[in-house]
Amino acid sequence: MPRKPGEPLKYKEIADDLRRRIDGEEFPAGRKLPSERDLAAAYGIAQGTMRQALNVLRNEGILTSRVGSGWMVQEWRPIVRNGLKRLKAEQWGAGKSIWDVDVEDRDLTPEDVTIQHLPADAAVATSLELDEGDLVWRRDRRYRLDGVLVMRSTEYFPDDLARGTRITQTDTGPGGVYKRLEEAGHKPVDFQEDLHSRKASPSEAQDLSLAVGAPVVELVRYARDASGRVVGVNRMILDASRYIFRYEFSA
């Protein structure tokens, strides 16, 4: 029977149901799923449609597959980092954390949070379009997800924008630093993210509990206000094995 206009695609419905069953531990992490043929029979669909649904969950990092071994539930689900959704103003502007887009109801914990008021070195000054030695605020911390170290984040903000706001405090409040910048009259309206994949340095490997030479992604984000001024820079070091980078947009 043809699909009615607006009716969800069948394979997406099946993927949603399987995701729910996996989240409910009907299919525990590290365990093998029933065969494609058995799953298709259980759902009353063609095997090709079943494979489409399974591929959706593989692309989300929930499942993995090997030829001859079938489908298995990942023991640790990667973070699907949606670079466009997380930076939309309706996310942080509504007082939500941009992390909510990535982690849903998983346990995310910042640690080793440090805040410093210091002169900008040459690299930071260039990033923020300041003069070397100008005062900036530095926010630095690591993140654990489900108990696993996944990222080191180091942010810098010009002194005149951050001074007197909660950017200078451990808890930046609802909506985080971008909401505080908006309240200060410098709402971020443009973002740029530069990604560089490379091997972890010895210090980075130690910091994130990685093997020496493990792959990391260095991601630098620039936030600009309506005047084009750079109002914040964030340099992140991410464990590449823990992330899927996703960018959804319409042509």
Structural domains in the chain plus CATH codes: 10-73 (1.10.10.10), 79-246 (3.40.1410.10)
* pLDDT over 60 (residue 3): no
What is the average pLDDT across 176-183? 96
Model's pTM, two decimal places? 0.75
What six digits make up the tokens of 36? 């494609």
Question: Measured between alpha carbons, how far is 22 from 63 in angstroms, rounded to an integer?
Answer: 10
Whole-number pLDDT of residue 164 = 96
For residues 106 and 43, the model is more confident at: 43
Q: Nearest-CA neighbor of 103 among 85, 88, 124, 119?
A: 85
Question: Measured between alpha carbons, how far is 51 from 114 in angstroms, rounded to an integer?
Answer: 47
Whole-number pLDDT of residue 25 = 86
Q: What is the DSSP letter of 76?
A: S
Mean pLDDT, the chain, whole residue set: 91
Q: Report the DSSP pairing between strands 148-158 and 230-239.
A: antiparallel
* pLDDT over 70 (residue 39): yes
